[in-house]
Amino acid sequence: MVPGTFTPIRVTPEADMAVPAPATSPRPAALHRPRPVARGGLAILICTVITVMEGYSLIVYGSVVPLLLADGSLGLAAASAGVVGGLVYVGMFFGALGGGVLGDRIGRQPVLLAAITVFGFGLLGAGLAGSGTALGVARLVSGLGVGAAVVTALAISRGHAAAHRVGLVVNVTMAGIPIGGTVAALLGIVIMPAFGWRPMFFLGAGLTLLILLCSAAFRLEEEAAEEERATPAVERPSTLRAVFSGRGTLLALLAAAVAVPNMFTWFGLNVWLVATMSALQYPLTSALTFSLTLTAGAIIGSMATATWADRWGVLHVGAVTAAPTVVGLAGVLVAGRSLPVLLVCIFLMGMGGHSTANLLNAAVSTLFPAAARGTAMGWTNGMSYFGALGPVLGGIVLAGPGPYGVFALYGVSALLALVVITVFARVAGSAARAH
């Protein structure tokens, strides 16, 4: 591959996911010593633990929304709570774009450590917030950190993946986000009825500090990435040009077109599921159980689809996983108050929404040159944060048409994601065959 050019790689089980290295002069044998397997496994484990805390930071807000609305000192109504909930995704948009490019240029681990620090301060600020405005600023700061951390942790983890285990490694790493949401829901059941909403953020800030110290204690990036950046900057191709050139432009736009409606649905459900179920007269503990079911679906779905993706192709399986979200949302609209049916439907929402996002990331990580992987994933994840409109519009709909209107809104966006990822899979397959 000529540096700076785009060469799509077939996203199928048979494809060799590794990107060919540019022709260079031979390097000393010492630079070719293989990294011990344990070190690569440790890096993936640490990145997964980081995403657990990212997931906590991201999803904890949805767990505390009912108490925020009841806290008169904040002055939040349903619509304004939706705006505050959406601000974290605005921050994630800028964090993902900036973090992806910076990670490719100056090193992913320094960017990752800075990002963890930022979202830790965001959690602390949220716990100290005395007004809706202060809470919104804190959530914006959290978003900046989480957005950059997601992209860099994913890129580092993906760099340690064997060619035939890309889907598995990406899914395992991203499973940390719903696991973090599960932790938030479980702690919320115990903490919030007795102590309110602020300890949820303080606890998150303390755990983030521990994770920061652990992440700083190890070298996480693979040697190949560090050697690539050792090349003088003037000799390295633009990572943006590597993504947006030739057929890459179409693929990048299609990836964004999948990410936006999929995350519109997923973000909206994470912010509004508990409050929506509370509006349907379910007690807080029951509503938190629904949130736990949503994140459990995401975790189990991620694990189940990982091996399928490596066997049958990440985008093809992604097109399949987008369907359960549509089925689950449609089921809620017709299930009435049947608790077993509701739990199944919510499980399907979690399985579909999160698995589709994971597989989209896995596909993007293979469709573009390795040196621009962070930039490509930053683009896709950054665009996905336009899905922040999901929580905003969800709050408006909840205050107007009501709870079932919220589920109908997210059903439409989930259906759009299903249609577009099906098109994306066909286009990417055609590009691979042409290549």
- Residue ranges covered by each domain of the chain: 38-434
**pLDDT tens for each residue of 298-338:** 888 877 877 777 777 778 888 888 999 999 999 988 877 77
Which ranges constitute the DSSP H helices of 220-283?
Answer: 223-230, 239-243, 247-279
Write down the pLDDT at residue 410. 94
Tell me the pTM.
0.68
Q: How far apart are CA 226 and CA 332, in angstroms?
A: 49
Label residue 429 exposed, middle or buried (CB < 10 Å: 0-12, 13-18, 19+).
middle
Q: How far apart are CA 319 and CA 321, in angstroms?
A: 6
Torsions phi, psi of 87, nearest 5?
A: -65, -30
* Cβ neighbour number for residue 280 with a 10 Å cutoff: 16
Write down the pLDDT at residue 237. 56
Write down the pLDDT at residue 419. 94
**pLDDT tens for each residue of 388-407:** 788 888 888 988 888 889 99
Q: How far apart are CA 426 and CA 434, in angstroms?
A: 12
Percent of all residues in the chain with a pLDDT value above 90, rounded to a whole number? 21
Contact 260, 387 (CB under 8 A): yes
**Is 414 a residue whose pLDDT tops 80?**
yes
Write down the pLDDT at residue 431. 54
Class of domain 38-434: mainly alpha
Write down the pLDDT at residue 378. 84
The three-class DSSP label of residue 395 is helix
Tokens at 284, concatenated: 């807080």
